[in-house]
Structure 1
Amino acid sequence: MSSRSRSPVFVCAVVVAAALGLVGCAPVTAPIRSSSATPEAADTPTPTPTPTPSGFDKTALPIDDPASIWVVVNKVRPLEPSTYVPADLITTPVPHLNPPGLRSEAASAMAAMFATAKAEGAGGMQLQSASRSYGVQVKVYNGYVSSVGEDGADAQSARPGYSEHQTGLAADISAVPLTCALAACFGQTPQGLWLAANAYRFGFLLRYPADKTAITGYMYEPWHFRYIGVPLATEMHATGVTTLEEFFGLPPAPDYAP
């Protein structure tokens, strides 16, 4: 996992792996309608909507529909229904450690990204974790709670019904051979560095940057990439906006509602 042999991330990996047979650990409020610990709320910056550049339409796809590739899911924007299941999950044709289901569009983009990374010298990659159902997320989240408590769990794992993995658009990526899996040091591996610089070319966003915990509500996860499509990913890369919350002018989501 990382050199921090007793860190919460390592401990949760053991608990979750034992409970689910998974390798590693995966890291209410206005619902989404179907058509590092977090800082104190008082210190939370408020995102401001970025101006719409000429030619890019921020309203082209909905951000509230769980079936939309632009859906924004966070601690104040749960999925509705909470047990949502994507209709077009397929097996992603890439090396994997756990079930590699992703939505069809995301799976194709992931396969192309892995092939290009290897061709460009970044080394091999594999899917550590992909789509997870509501029921699986219950087990994952409870595993974190058992090992690091609710506050620790909330910093690194979504509660059931609030997880991007449930959309079929999010993937945790690790290196081949396995090194720095689900740990901050993955960001400094050849694979992690390549992904941070190039994932947008294939429609993926590094969803939880190191400097945006107060916005996203999650610790730095250089392994967690969310498919949003090439147009949006390219626009965010070009404008330097690194979170969906800031791009769409949404409130920060550092904590769940009491």
Structure 2
Amino acid sequence: MLKRITYALLLNITLIIILSGCNQFDLSQLIEQRTADETQIKNEQTKKVDEIGKNGQEDSNTGDVNDDFSENEWVLEEEYFNQVEISDGLSVILNPENILSLVNKEHTLPSVYIPPDLVKPNVPFSFGDLDVPKRYLRVEAGEALENLFMGAKKDSIQLFAVSGYRSYVTQEAIYQAQIRKTGEEELANQTVAIPGQSEHQTGLAIDVSSHSAQLRLVESFGETEEGRWVQEHAHEYGFIVRYPKGKEEITGYQYEPWHLRYVGVEIATQIFTNNLTLEEFFGKVKKL
């Protein structure tokens, strides 16, 4: 390719000289320009080859895993994986204090688990100043939520926290109420976690909303300005939208643009950049 380009440049120079006369051109300048052009082309080709070699393939924007993360970044210390035991047919998590606990329909929290470091984040809540359990989060998640709300405010986005920590007993009451509402346990399972399988019990999950969504937890929140901001920026503060659209078969739950889960900035960014769920993330990472 480079030889063909060089030949074409020489041909163009020769034609110019013939048509215009050598006395109107400085031949040495033309040669210098040709050399500069060749160097630029060679550098661009070398850069492209290096990029393809680094990434494994060109970016096709298909939503597949982004290979900008090296293989070393797809490993985790063992402490961040669920340690489980089978009890009454359930896979019970033995290390629920793990900031990356994978809580879902296959992994259950102990019924007696209560996070030991619950605090009240200094953010506006949809229910005002009431001091109730759902106002609380674990320390690290609470501080991150405060930063997220401050970041939103700087962008003229007003968010409200709706529900944070939820005990096993409270989740059981909510679940039973949903069964009565739908009339079927299977339908209830699509929208409400059974006791022990709710991320809210970890103290790391928070539901958010806005005035544009009437402070409700509804899918339409995802189409609001506030919901779109959350989708694009939550990872910058360590949160992921835990149940994204199009991933229902993987998460086991319907799309919930309001439900945020704290996992830390590094992991949240990795999950967001690669369009993963927490289940897919743990399906890819390996133990150190």
SS at structure 2 position matched to 1:248 = helix
**Alpha-carbon deviation of 1:83?**
2.4
Among 77, 89, 111, the residue aligned to 1:82: 111
CA distance in 2, matches of 1:215, 1:233: 18
Which amino acid is 1:97 matched to? Answer: S
Among 120, 123, 146, the residue aligned to 1:111: 146
In the other structure, the counterpart of 1:175 is 210
Structure 2 stretches of 5 or more lacking a match?
Answer: 1-63, 83-94, 128-133
SS at structure 2 position matched to 1:77 = coil
**Alpha-carbon deviation of 1:89?**
0.5
Q: What do you get for the CA RMSD once the two structures are aligned?
A: 2.1
Paired-residue identity, %: 39
Q: Is residue 164 of structure 2 the alignment partner of residue 130 of structure 1?
A: yes
Q: Say whether the 8 Å CA contact 1:49–1:246 is kept in structure 2.
A: no
In the other structure, the counterpart of 1:56 is 73
CA distance in 2, matches of 1:161, 1:73: 8
In the other structure, the counterpart of 2:253 is 218
Which is higher, the Rg of structure 1 or of structure 2? 2
CA distance in 1, matches of 2:163, 2:80: 26
In the other structure, the counterpart of 2:32 is none
In the other structure, the counterpart of 1:185 is 220
CA distance in 2, matches of 1:112, 1:75: 30
CA distance in 1, matches of 2:189, 2:163: 18
In the other structure, the counterpart of 2:173 is 139
Q: Is residue 155 of structure 2 the alignment partner of residue 120 of structure 1?
A: yes
Q: Is residue 110 of structure 2 the alignment partner of residue 91 of structure 1?
A: no
Larger RCO, structure (CA 8 Å, separation 6 or more): 1
Cα 1:185–1:177 shift into 2, 3 Å = closer
**Count of residue pairs the alignment pairs up:** 200
Q: Say whether the 8 Å CA contact 2:227–2:257 is kept in structure 1.
A: yes
**Alpha-carbon deviation of 1:53?**
2.5
Q: Say whether the 8 Å CA contact 2:213–2:220 is kept in structure 1.
A: no
Among 253, 271, 277, the residue aligned to 1:243: 277
Among 92, 101, 108, the residue aligned to 2:136: 101
Q: Say whether the 8 Å CA contact 1:50–1:246 is kept in structure 2.
A: no
The worse-fitting range, judged by mean Cα deviation, of 108-117 and 96-105 is 96-105
Structure 1 stretches of 5 or more lacking a match?
Answer: 1-47, 251-258
Q: Deviations over 1:66-97 (max 9, x none)?
A: 10111100001111x23211110001111113
CA distance in 2, matches of 1:54, 1:73: 25
**Alpha-carbon deviation of 1:179?**
2.2
CA distance in 2, matches of 1:67, 1:92: 19
Cα 1:159–1:53 shift into 2, 3 Å = same
CA distance in 2, matches of 1:50, 1:82: 38
SS at structure 1 position matched to 2:159 = strand
Q: Say whether the 8 Å CA contact 1:49–1:248 is kept in structure 2.
A: no
**Alpha-carbon deviation of 1:54?**
4.2
Q: Say whether the 8 Å CA contact 1:50–1:248 is kept in structure 2.
A: no
CA distance in 2, matches of 1:181, 1:90: 23
Q: Deviations over 1:161-211 (max 9, x none)?
A: 111000000011010365262111000111100000000000000000110
Which amino acid is 1:192 matched to? Answer: G
SS at structure 1 position matched to 2:161 = strand
SS at structure 2 position matched to 1:97 = coil
CA distance in 1, matches of 2:192, 2:75: 28
Relative to the length of structure 1, the TM-score reads: 0.72
In the other structure, the counterpart of 2:265 is 230
CA distance in 2, matches of 1:236, 1:210: 15
CA distance in 1, matches of 2:215, 2:270: 30
